[in-house]
Structure 1
Amino acid sequence: MDRRSFIKKAGVAGAGAAAATTLAAPAIAQSMPKLTWRCTSSFPKSLDTIYGAAETMAEHVKAATDGNFDIQVFAGGEIVPGLQAADAVTDGTVEMCHTASYYYWGKDATYQLATATPFVMNSRMQNAWFIQGGGTDMLNETFYNGEGLHAIPCGNTGAQMGGWFRKEINTVADLDGLKMRIGGFAGKILGKLGVSPQQIAGGDIYAALEKGTIDATEWVGPYDDQKLGFNKVAKYYYYPGWWEGGAALHAFINLEKYNELPANYQAILSDACYFANASMLATYDVKNPTALKELVADGAVLRPFSQEVLDACNAATQEVYKEVTAENPAFKKIYESQLAYAKDAYLWQQLSEYTYDTYMMIQQRSGKL
C-alpha cells in the first residue's frame, strides 16, 4: 500500500469514527441522565451500620453513573418520622426509602415476610431465597407492586439478640404482663403469651426503658445495643431473637419512579443495594463480637431463653401463621415458598455449617482457637 492510499483510507476511517462518536453521544446522554433522588431512612445517623447501608448504596450508585444518579440519604425524622418512611414513598414525598418492611405489618401482615419470618430462615437462607429462590421477584409481583412499591434487599443484621429485660425470664409465666418494645408481628405472637407489645422507633427506645414505660426491648445486637446504652437501664440480655433469625432491610422505591429509570440505572441500583446488603452483614459480624465482650465486662448478664419459653413461643407462632394464611392469600403464597425452601436448607446446613461451626466453637471454648 502506498503512502497516499494509506492516508486516504485512514482519513475515511477517522471520519467514520468521528461520525460514530457524534452519533453515539446522544444515546449515551439518554442512558445516563442527570437525576437527584431523596431516600428517607427509618434510622438515626448514630446507628452507623444500619443507617450506613443506605449511604453505601447511594455511594455505589453515584460512582457507577459518574455522579449522574445522585441519591441523597436523610435520617429518620429529617423528612418524615422513621416509621412513616414507606408511606412517604407511596405518596410521592420521596422517591425511595431505606427501612424494615415489618414496620408496616399493621397495614398488611405480608410486610413481615420480607424482613424476618419467625422460626423459619436464618440470614444465609434468607439471602439465598431472595436472590436464587425467586423471593425478591415473588415479593414484588405478589405484593409490593400492588402497594405502589418496588423492593430490593439492602441490608441484613444476621440473627439478632432476644433483647434487654429488667427481670429474668425463666418461665412462660414471666412473660405475662410484660411491656416490651418489639417490631413486626412478633408482638402479635408474644401477645398470645401475655406480653403487651410496643412499637417504638429506635431513637426513642432508651427513654421509654429508662422511664419504665416499657419493661423490655429488643433492637438488633451487641454493636447497636451498646450504642443505644440499653445495658445502663436493663440488666439481663437474652438470646436468641427467634423472631429475627436474619433481619433484612429493604430499599423501597416508588414503583412509577422505578419504571421510569433507564434499564442500566435499574441494574446499577439493584447491584448497589445487594452490595450494601452483604456489606452490612459483614460489618455486624466484625463489630458484634467486640461489643458483646465489652457489654459483659460492663455488667450485662447473658441469658438464653429456656427450652420452655422457646417451645411456647414457637407454638404461638404456628397459631399466628394458621390465622394469617387462612385470610391473606399473598402472605400464604410467600410464607409457603419460604417454608419449603427452609426445610431443605436446614437439612443441608446440618451437614455443612452446623457440624463445622459446632466443632470450631468447641475449639474456641477450650482455648485451642
Structure 2
Amino acid sequence: MKASLAATSISIALAGVAMNASAAEDKKVLLKVPVAFATSLPGLGSPIPKVAEQIELVTNKSIRMKVYEPGKLVAPFEILDAVSQGKINAGYTTAGYWAGKIPASPLFSAVPFGPDAGEYMAWMYYGNGLKLYQEMYDASGYNVHVLPCAINPPETSGWFAKPIEKPEDLQGLRMRFFGLGAKVMEKLGVSTSLLPGSEIFPALEKGAIDATEFSMPAVDTRVGFHKVVKYNYFPGWHQQSTIFELLINKGTWNDMSAGQQAALSQVCKASMADSFAEGEAKQFAVMKENVEKRGVHIMQWNDTMLDAFRGAWTEVVAEQTANDPMFKKIWDDMSQFREEYKLWGQNAFLPRK
C-alpha cells in the first residue's frame, strides 16, 4: 500500500508539473458537483472536498470544483440524469443508486460476497472493470464519463432491534437496504426500501422501517442509528467494499485538455487510496465507544445466516444474468478475474482470526 501511495503521489506530482506548464493554455473549467452523501460523513462524503482541493492545486486552478451538499443543487437520486442531460456538469455518487435504470450498475458499487477493496481495484484498473464501467453507461445511453473516485472498506450489515439467529427472524421486517444486497434480503422475506442517507434515521425513529443498513460504524453512529436499535451485525457480506463515482458530462470531459483529463483521473485514483485508508482508520474507536458508551451489541452472523444469505445471492445472480445481457457480461468478466485471483488471494494473506 505504501508503494502504491508513493507511485500515485509521484504520478500526481508529474501531472502537476505538466499542468502548471500548460495552465495558461488550458480552458478554465468549473465543475459544479452535487453529492449524494453529506461531506461531514467520514469516508463516505468526505473524499470529494479533498478531491476538489487537490485538483485545483494540481492543475494550477485550471480545474476548480464547487461541491454542493445533498439536495442543494440536485437530489441524490437525480444526479445521473442531471449530469447526462447537461443540467449540471458533474456529480459524486455511487452506481448502485441506478439499479432501477441500469440493472448492471450495482456491480460497480458493491457486490454481495464480492471482492474486498484490493481485489476490486485490481479488477477495475488492471482487469476489464474500468472499460466495462464506461461501456455500461454508453450502452445505456448516458452522456457521462465515469471515474472511480473513492472506495470504502466493509460496511456493517445491519442495525436491528433484536438478535437475528435464523432466517425466519427476518420474515416481515421492513428495512432500508442498498443495492444487490436488497434483492438477497427480499428473498428472505424482508420488505426493502432504498432511502437516501438523510431520510434513514427519521424513518427508523418514526417506525416506518424496523431495521437498516447504511455504511461503516463511523458513519452510522454519526447518523444516530444506535439511538433506536442496538444490535449491529457483522460481517458486511453485502458490501465488502463500496466504490463511489465522479460522473462528468461528456461534453465537459471532451472539452478538457489531455493534461486536465489525466490530472483528474490521477487525483481520483489517489482518492481511492486515501478514502480506503480513512475508512480503515476510523472504525475501531467508534465501535469501542458504541459498546462502552451507547449500549450497542456488536453481533456476528452465525453460519446458518451466512449460508442463507449466500444461497439467496446465488438465486439473485441467476435471475439477473438471465434477465440482463450487460449484467451477464460484467458478471462473467468479474467472476473470471476473481477465479484467477484466488490463487493469489488464498495463498498470500494471513487469516484475520
Structure 2 length as normaliser, TM-score? 0.90
Structure 1 contact 31–262 (Cα < 8 Å) conserved = no
Structure 1 contact 144–151 (Cα < 8 Å) conserved = no
* Match of residue 19 from structure 1: none
- Structure 1 counterpart of 2:119, which letter? M
Counterpart Cα distance in 1 of 2:105 and 2:234: 24
Counterpart Cα distance in 2 of 1:186 and 1:169: 17
* Match of residue 93 from structure 1: 87
Offset of 1:32 from its aligned partner?
Answer: 2.0
Offset of 1:144 from its aligned partner?
Answer: 4.3
Offset of 1:142 from its aligned partner?
Answer: 4.0
**Which of the numbers 145, 153, 156 marks the counterpart of 2:148?**
153
Structure 2 contact 27–62 (Cα < 8 Å) conserved = yes
* Match of residue 179 from structure 1: 174
Deviations 1:330-350 (A, max 9, x none): 111111111111123233222
Instruction: Say yes or no: does 1:328 pair with 2:324.
Output: yes
Counterpart Cα distance in 1 of 2:22 and 2:30: 18
Instruction: Say yes or no: does 1:290 pair with 2:285.
Output: yes
The structure having more radius of gyration, on CA atoms, is 1
* Match of residue 341 from structure 2: 345
**Which of the numbers 194, 198, 204 marks the counterpart of 2:199?**
204
* Match of residue 15 from structure 2: none
Counterpart Cα distance in 1 of 2:159 and 2:208: 14
* Match of residue 53 from structure 1: 47
- How well do the aligned residues superpose, as a CA RMSD in angstroms? 1.6
* Match of residue 33 from structure 1: 27
- Structure 2 counterpart of 1:155, which letter? A
* Match of residue 76 from structure 1: 70
Instruction: Say yes or no: does 1:213 pair with 2:208.
Output: yes
Counterpart Cα distance in 2 of 1:33 and 1:267: 15
Structure 1 contact 150–252 (Cα < 8 Å) conserved = yes
In the TM superposition, structure 1's runs of 4+ consecutive aligned residues that sit over 4 Å from their partners are none
Q: Note the 1:295-314 alignment, pairs <5 A.
A: 295-297=290-292, 298-314=294-310
* Match of residue 132 from structure 2: 138
Structure 1 length as normaliser, TM-score? 0.86
Select the structure with the greater relative contact order (CA < 8 A; seq sep ≥ 6): 2
**Which of the numbers 111, 114, 120 marks the counterpart of 2:114?**
120
- Structure 2 counterpart of 1:85, which letter? I
Identity %: 33
Offset of 1:176 from its aligned partner?
Answer: 0.7
* Match of residue 9 from structure 1: none
* Match of residue 100 from structure 2: 106
Quick check: which one's helix share is greater? Answer: 1
Offset of 1:291 from its aligned partner?
Answer: 0.8
Counterpart Cα distance in 2 of 1:346 and 1:175: 32
For this pair of structures, how many residues does the alignment match? 331
Deviations 1:52-74 (A, max 9, x none): 21111111211111112111111
Deviations 1:176-203 (A, max 9, x none): 1111111113212211110000111111
Counterpart Cα distance in 1 of 2:302 and 2:239: 17
